[in-house]
C-alpha cells in the first residue's frame, strides 16, 4: 500500500486561497487504511474546512482513487457538484491526485503527502506516477509529477534538451513540463509557476510529518 499523511491545515488553506467552493475526494483503499482519506476523514476534513468558511459542494470516497475508470464513473455521477466547485481536494496518494487531474478540467489540490511504498503500487498501469517523496508538489505542477515523470527530476521547468514537447532522454515520451505548462494554461493557473517553492528537505521528507487537517 501507499503510505500517506494529511498535509497541515495551514498549507491546504493556502492552496484554497481565493476559492469558496470545493469538492472533496477520498479513497477507500490505501488512504482509508492510513486513516488519511477514508469516509471518516473526508467527513472530518469537510467539517474543518466549512468551519474555515469554505463550502463543500459534495464528496466522493472512491474504492481506488488511483483507478481512472472508477474516478471517471464516480465523479461523473456527481458532475453537477463537481462543476459547481472552484476546485477539488484529494485526500489520497499522489497517484490519485494525478488520476483526478487527468479526469476533470478543474484545479486539483493534493491534501496528503505520500511517504513510502509498502506493497502494490497503485492502479495506474502505463508507468510510474509517484515516488513517495514525502513532500507533494502537485499543487504547483497541475497534477503532473516532475519527480516521477521527468527523467532528470527537474523542478524548475524543462531542460534545454527537450524538443517539440518531447523528452530528451526518451524522445517517445512527452516532456512532463510541456504537459504542466499546457494544463496550467487551460485551467487559468499559469501564475503557479511564478511561486517560489522552498527546497525539498530530502533528509526529513520520509520522517514523521506535520499535523493533519483535523
Higher pLDDT, 159 or 115: 159
- 2: which strand partners? 117
Alpha-carbon distance of 213 to 62, in angstroms, equals 20
Which has the closest alpha carbon to 27: 71, 85, 77, 78? 71
95 CA to centre of own chain: 7
HSE-CB at 71 with a 13 A cutoff on CA atoms is 25
Quickly name the fold that domain 2-139 has: Rossmann fold (3.40.50)
Q: Boundaries of CATH 3.40.50.11860 in the chain?
A: 2-139
For the segment 112-128, the average pLDDT, to the nearest whole number, is: 64
* Res. 208: pLDDT tops 90: no
Average pLDDT over residues 35-43: 97
Q: How many CB atoms lie within 10 A of CB 73?
A: 12
Amino acid at each position: 500500500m501507499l503510505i500517506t499523511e494529511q498535509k497541515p491545515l495551514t498549507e491546504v488553506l493556502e492552496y484554497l486561497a481565493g476559492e469558496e467552493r470545493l469538492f472533496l475526494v477520498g479513497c477507500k483503499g490505501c488512504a482509508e487504511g492510513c486513516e488519511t482519506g477514508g469516509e471518516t476523514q473526508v467527513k472530518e476534513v469537510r467539517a474543518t474546512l466549512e468551519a474555515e468558511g469554505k463550502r463543500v459542494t459534495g464528496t466522493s470516497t472512491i474504492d481506488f482513487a488511483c483507478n481512472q475508470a472508477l474516478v471517471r464513473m464516480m465523479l461523473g455521477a456527481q458532475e453537477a457538484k463537481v462543476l459547481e466547485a472552484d476546485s477539488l481536494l484529494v485526500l489520497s496518494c499522489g497517484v490519485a491526485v494525478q488520476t483526478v487531474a487527468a479526469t476533470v478540467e478543474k484545479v486539483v489540490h493534493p491534501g496528503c503527502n505520500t511517504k513510502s511504498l509498502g506493497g502494490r503500487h497503485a492502479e495506474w498501469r502505463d508507468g510510474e506516477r509517484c515516488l513517495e517523496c514525502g513532500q507533494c508538489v502537485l499543487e504547483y505542477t497541475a497534477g503532473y509529477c516532475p519527480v516521477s515523470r521527468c527523467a532528470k527530476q527537474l523542478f524548475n521547468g524543462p531542460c534545454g534538451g527537450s524538443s517539440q514537447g518531447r523528452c530528451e532522454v526518451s524522445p517517445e515520451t512527452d516532456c512532463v513540463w510541456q504537459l504542466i505548462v499546457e494544463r496550467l494554461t487551460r485551467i487559468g493557473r499559469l501564475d503557479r509557476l511564478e511561486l517560489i517553492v522552498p527546497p525539498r528537505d530530502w533528509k526529513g521528507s520520509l520522517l514523521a510529518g506535520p499535523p493533519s487537517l483535523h
